[in-house]
Amino acid sequence: MQHKNKAKYVYLGIIISFALVFVITIGVQMNIPYTSRAFLEYQVVPVYSKVSESVEEIFVNNGDHVKIGQPLFAVDKNVYLAQYTSALGQYNEVLDSIKNLKNDIQKTNVLIAKNKILVEQNKMELLKYKKLFDKKYINELDYQNMNARLIESEKTLKESENTLNNLLNKYKVEEETTPQLLIAEGALKKAEINLKNTTTLAPISGEVVMDNFYKNTLIKQDTTLFYIKNDSTLTVNADLKEKNLKAITKDRKALIVFDGVSKKVITGKVQKIVPVLAEGFSTSNILVNIADDNRWVRDPGKVRVSIGIENSEDLKNLSSGSKASVILLSEDNNIIYNGLAKLWINTIKVFNYVY
């Protein structure tokens, strides 16, 4: 009987211990989210030329620190300078044609006014000739000649009016909408942009990461040539479980251990929660791929969390993409949870170093 009572206490202790561990585990997971699948991210921007040509000058070297907008390299601009000159000539030619068109319209208007006066004068003369002819003061030939002069002047007037109509059809009152001018402006602007792009400027401030880039190399448009790395502000991206979403808030403190710097625990703060993951959407013309899984508990969903950390000498040699383990401290600075978080991250630190 005594052994049975001891067995009951043992079983009861096991059950209580299991329940206690279960409750503590749930509390830890809900309040101090953890992942060993985090990675370091620099702001890395590719540098490329927007035009194709051979490299003429290189203004920076590998490892140089540059500021945004600083010239990096230049390509041979002779071809693009010639294109710009040609486009400028075509643009000026269109402007001259518009100017000449306006002058022709003005001259034609003056000519029409003169022709109208001449027609009116011939009409008056024809009336005089008609009276003289009726009174037999002039012969029929003189009268018919006068009538022919009137007809000819009316014909000339009509021709000048048709000429004006043709000119007006070519001319736009809003000159900037003239098709030829728009085409010439577009060609000139494109040539100007290409000429400007013969010198490539730094897209961001940071360190130049350059390899196998030399003068006289023929480069193609929009092909990555080297990179600029901005490591003044570093970000650790961690995919945490969706069940921890309520516990993930902005400015919440985090403890981080990098595989490459496993002896040191780095501190950071949650900057933002990224609402889009690559596996979280599909385009309208692609079916969603649902993997078969006969597990009774499915894999947890993930939330991408960006954690900001300060650059330091400890992180100097880490590359973008370096792996890390991340745990968030308690939101309300709970001593127990924070103690467990620090204990766990230091345990990970030891095992990372040993492993």
Averaged pLDDT for residues 227-246: 82
Would the pLDDT of 146 be above 90?
no
Per mean pLDDT, which range of 67-71, 85-89, 218-222, 344-348 is the poorest?
344-348
pLDDT for 6: 65
Distances (CA, A) of 278 to 187, 274, 281, 283: 40, 11, 7, 11
Instruction: State the alpha helices, DSSP H only, in the chain.
Output: 2-31, 78-134, 140-170, 179-196, 335-354
Distance CA 352, CA 264 (A): 11
Task: Provide the pLDDT confidence category of residue 168 given band limits of 50, 70 and 90.
Answer: confident
Tokens matching residue 9: 């206490």
Rg of the chain (C-alpha set): 43
pLDDT digits (tens, 9 = 90+) for 23-62: 666 666 667 788 888 888 888 899 999 999 999 999 999 9
pLDDT for 353: 59
Higher pLDDT, 200 or 242: 200
Higher pLDDT, 284 or 150: 150
Hunting for tokens 């990461």 — which residue is that?
209
In sequence order, the 6+-apart residues with CB closer than 8 A to the CB of 229 are 42, 43, 44, 206, 207, 209, 320
Chain centroid to Cα 100, Å, comes to: 42
Under a CB-based contact definition with an 8 Å cutoff, are residues 197 and 52 in contact?
A: no
Averaged pLDDT for residues 276-286: 57
Averaged pLDDT for residues 207-222: 91
**Residue type present at position 204:** I
Distance CA 66, CA 226 (A): 14
Strand partners, 99: none
Phi and psi at residue 122, to the nearest 5°: -65, -35
pLDDT digits (tens, 9 = 90+) for 306-321: 888 877 777 777 887 8
pLDDT digits (tens, 9 = 90+) for 76-96: 999 999 999 999 999 999 999
Averaged pLDDT for residues 289-295: 61
Strand partners, 66: 206
Averaged pLDDT for residues 233-241: 84
Would the pLDDT of 4 be above 70?
no
